[in-house]
């Protein structure tokens, strides 16, 4: 198969993907398994990972994002179709420039993809589908507040975005296609990736615990609404930053989308590649979240949240020297200067006369004067 | 004035030495007495010294007339008569110190290093001179003080000597012992 044939075939696949991307997504729920055939040729950056097994089941939630609008990805939820390419072809054939022209999608390689993941445990939490599907078309904050946040971060929602992570992360943001995240190692493994569309049934190799019991809030409070989380400031040490003044329903990515200075999705992915911390349940927030809080201030958050942030800034202890103050403290108005009062003691010395006769002797000390040797002898014998 | 003339009479023809009262004396080296004390023990030596002192006190009482006359005499008279007796016999120079109510006899140039032996001589002399039960105990720390220049001997009753010995055994200096005796003598005078 030469290059022209492959390009033609890939273009056909692209057209098919585009048509299927426009279709309603209900059909995905019916099919529990989607086989995604990935051609490794148009990858934007050569991947150093080796290519051995042709099929890899997508289970681990480490994130590498690839758009489905690229000609290299073909999603066939209803009719699983596999197009297998030889590994030698994948390695030997250079990336055709035609693929980029056919689908001018945003293809950026995460700058922090080479950095090691800081916490493997954090990868357990599967991100919400709507978070990174399309950054530019994120709904406003009010709409997001209507949706109840996931009570258990370990329980994944319906994953329209499939994530796989083993090697360096790649993020390709499509315009209007569901997001499919595939690691480059999977691409190297032959381009055939099995994506499990059922979030309730993670594969056996997944580290996500299966929610066999109802959430803790439900056990504790029943059907009643759980009490609101206390807005206490997090501790100063560690990677944690000060509590944000945003409501629970507002996700950091949404705040970024609202802000006029919001970074792009690629920048957010570069700051925390493949990591999605649930700040409300863990108290850990990414650095981008902390920086996004003051950036989102022009959106004028509700007064209640502003008051909470100010209270948190006042009650939190002063930062240690050399540390960056939390965003809430920086946004709070500076305290009024305390007037300095100079205190000096008023000394009063007594006036004493050195020659004053302060002692008066009355009487006479008893003195033993024996008149004879016998008196002294009697006195000493009486001792 | 103390009359020390012819206290000891040497009869060279008969080879005798006699005191003023006619008591026969023997001149003997100090080393012999020390050897006696070492061989017989301290208690035997003290008994010997007590007997020797009693002879000195009896001579004082005879010279002053009686024991009552001795008590009625002044301090200087009694110290002079007693000192002259010990000086003629070669037991050193005797003095008296008054520390408040306490009487302390001081013997300089004692021929013996055993202070208890000196204290025994003074105890016998004062008892014989005054006719009272007098107890004497050296304040210099006991028998092994090693000082022959000056020996201080406390003169007191049995109760006072017992307390002084206890304090001295605890390491209290003789000056503090005398002070404590002054502070704890209430009701006994």
The DSSP-derived string for A67-83 is ETTSTTEEEESSS----
Q: Please tell me the predicted confidence (pLDDT) of residue B16.
A: 92
Distance from the B125 Cα atom to the nearest Cα atom in chain A, whole angstroms? 13
Neighboring chain B residues of A371 at a CB cutoff of 8 Å: 74
Q: Please tell me the predicted confidence (pLDDT) of residue A369.
A: 87
Locate the chain B residue with the closest alpha carbon to A379. Answer: B101
Q: Choose the most confident range, by mean pLDDT, from A318-327, A339-348, B94-103.
A: B94-103
Q: Tokens 């690691």 identify what position? A: A183
Locate the chain A residue with the closest alpha carbon to B133. Answer: A381
CA A27, CA A21: separation in Å to the nearest integer?
A: 11
CA A373, CA B30: separation in Å to the nearest integer?
A: 31
CA A158, CA B57: separation in Å to the nearest integer?
A: 129
Tell me the percentage of chain A whose pLDDT exceeds 90. Answer: 7
Residue A32 in this model has a pLDDT that exceeds 50: no
Position with higher pLDDT, A237 vs A38: A237
Taking alpha carbons only, the member of B17, B6, B116, B104 closest to residue B63 is: B6
| A374 contacts chain B (CB < 8 A) | yes
CA A217, CA A149: separation in Å to the nearest integer?
A: 13
Neighbouring C-alpha atoms within 13 Å toward the C-beta of A344 = 2
Do A383 and B73 make contact, defined as CB atoms within 8 angstroms?
Answer: no
Do A372 and B185 make contact, defined as CB atoms within 8 angstroms?
Answer: no
- ipTM over 0.85? The verdict is no
Eight-state DSSP code of residue B21? T
Taking alpha carbons only, the member of B19, B182, B38, B49 closest to residue B123 is: B49
CA A170, CA A112: separation in Å to the nearest integer?
A: 10
Residue A373: which of B74, B157, B185 has the nearest Cβ?
B74
Q: In what order do the strands lie in the sheet with B8-11?
A: B8-11, B16-19, B24-25
Cα Rg, chain B, nearest whole Å? 17
Neighboring chain B residues of A373 at a CB cutoff of 8 Å: 70-75, 77-79, 130
pLDDT tens by residue, A46-96: 544 454 544 544 444 444 444 444 444 444 455 544 555 554 454 544 554
Q: Please tell me the predicted confidence (pLDDT) of residue A162.
A: 46
Q: Please tell me the predicted confidence (pLDDT) of residue B23.
A: 82
Interface of B with A in 76-135 (CB under 8 A): 77-79, 98, 100-103, 126, 130, 132, 134
pLDDT tens by residue, A261-311: 545 544 544 544 455 555 556 666 555 555 554 544 444 445 555 555 555
Q: Tokens 């920048």 identify what position? A: A267
CA B130, CA A376: separation in Å to the nearest integer?
A: 12
Q: Please tell me the predicted confidence (pLDDT) of residue A214.
A: 65
Do B156 and A374 make contact, defined as CB atoms within 8 angstroms?
Answer: no
CA B49, CA B55: separation in Å to the nearest integer?
A: 10
- Residue A284: strand, helix, or coil: coil
Which residues are CB-neighbours of A79 under 8 A, at least 6 positions away? Answer: none
Average pLDDT, chain A: 58
> Burial of A268 by CB count in 10 Å (0-12 exposed, 13-18 middle, 19+ buried)?
buried
Residue A154 in this model has a pLDDT that exceeds 70: no
CA A342, CA A191: separation in Å to the nearest integer?
A: 77
pLDDT tens by residue, A87-133: 445 454 455 444 444 444 444 444 444 555 555 555 555 555 554 44
Q: Is the Cβ–Cβ distance between B125 and B77 less than 8 Å?
A: no
Residue A164 in this model has a pLDDT that exceeds 60: no
Residue B163 in this model has a pLDDT that exceeds 80: yes
Neighboring chain A residues of B78 at a CB cutoff of 8 Å: 373
A135-144, B108-117, B123-132: which has the minimum mean pLDDT? A135-144
| H or E element, residue B150 | strand B150-156
Q: Tokens 């540390």 identify what position? A: A323
Q: What is the pTM of this model?
A: 0.39
Q: Taking the CA atoms of B142, B148, B152 and B155 in sequence, report the sign of the dihedral they define.
A: positive
* b/e B15-24 (16+ beta carbons within 10 angstroms → b): eeeebbeeee
Position with higher pLDDT, A171 vs A224: A224
Residue A362 in this model has a pLDDT that exceeds 90: no
Among A372, A375, A380, pick the best mutation site for testing chain B contact (most B Cβ within 10 A).
Answer: A380
Tokens linked to B19: 């005191």
């Amino acid at each position: 198969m030469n290059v022209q044939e492959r390009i033609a075939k890939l273009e056909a696949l692209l057209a098919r993907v585009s048509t299927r991307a426009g279709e309603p997504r209900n059909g995905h729920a019916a099919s529990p398994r989607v086989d995604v055939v990935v051609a490794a040729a148009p990858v934007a950056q050569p991947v150093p990972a080796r290519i051995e097994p042709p099929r890899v089941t997508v289970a681990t939630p480490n994130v590498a994002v690839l758009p489905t609008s690229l000609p290299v990805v073909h999603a066939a939820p209803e009719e699983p179709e596999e197009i297998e390419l030889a590994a030698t072809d994948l390695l030997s054939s250079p990336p055709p420039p035609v693929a980029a022209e056919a689908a001018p999608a945003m293809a950026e390689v995460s700058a922090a993809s080479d950095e090691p993941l800081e916490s493997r445990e954090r990868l357990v939490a599967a991100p919400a589908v709507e978070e990174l599907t399309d950054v530019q078309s994120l709904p406003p904050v009010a709409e997001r507040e209507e949706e109840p946040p996931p009570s258990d971060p370990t329980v994944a929602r319906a994953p329209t975005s499939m994530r796989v992570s083993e090697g360096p992360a790649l993020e390709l943001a499509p315009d209007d296609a569901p997001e499919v995240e595939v690691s480059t190692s999977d691409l190297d493994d032959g381009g055939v990736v099995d994506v499990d569309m059922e979030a309730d049934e993670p594969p056996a190799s997944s580290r996500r615990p299966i929610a066999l019991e109802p959430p803790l809030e439900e056990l504790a409070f029943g059907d009643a609404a759980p009490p609101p989380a206390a807005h206490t400031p997090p501790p100063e040490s560690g990677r944690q930053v000060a509590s944000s003044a945003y409501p629970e329903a507002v996700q950091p990515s949404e705040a970024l989308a609202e802000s006029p200075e919001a970074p792009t999705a690629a920048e957010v992915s570069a700051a925390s590649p493949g990591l999605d911390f649930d700040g409300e349940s863990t108290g850990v927030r990414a650095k981008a979240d902390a920086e996004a809080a003051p950036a989102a201030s022009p959106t004028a958050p509700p007064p209640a949240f502003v008051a909470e942030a100010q209270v948190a800034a006042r009650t939190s202890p002063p930062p240690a020297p050399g540390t960056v103050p939390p965003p809430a403290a920086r946004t709070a108005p500076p305290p009024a200067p305390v007037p300095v009062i100079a205190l000096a003691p008023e000394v009063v010395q007594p006036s004493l006369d050195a020659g004053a006769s302060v002692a008066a002797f009355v009487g006479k000390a008893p003195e033993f004067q024996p008149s004879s040797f016998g008196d002294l002898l009697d006195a000493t014998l009486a001792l | 004035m103390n009359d020390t003339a012819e206290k000891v009479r040497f009869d060279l023809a008969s080879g005798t030495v006699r005191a003023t009262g006619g008591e026969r004396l023997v001149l003997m080296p100090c080393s012999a007495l020390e050897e006696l004390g070492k061989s017989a023990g301290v208690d035997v030596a003290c008994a010997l010294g007590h007997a020797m002192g009693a002879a000195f006190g009896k001579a004082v009482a005879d010279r002053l007339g009686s024991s009552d006359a001795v008590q009625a005499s002044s301090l200087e008279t009694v110290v002079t008569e007693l000192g002259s007796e010990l000086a003629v016999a070669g037991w050193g120079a005797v003095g008296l110190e008054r520390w408040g109510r306490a009487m302390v006899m001081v013997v300089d140039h004692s021929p013996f290093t055993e202070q208890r032996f000196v204290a025994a001589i003074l105890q016998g002399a004062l008892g014989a001179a005054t006719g009272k039960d007098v107890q004497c105990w050296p304040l210099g720390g006991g028998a092994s003080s090693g000082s022959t220049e000056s020996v201080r001997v406390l003169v007191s009753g049995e109760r006072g000597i017992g307390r002084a010995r206890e304090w001295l055994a605890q390491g209290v200096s003789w000056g503090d012992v005398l002070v404590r005796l002054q502070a704890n003598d209430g009701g006994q005078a």
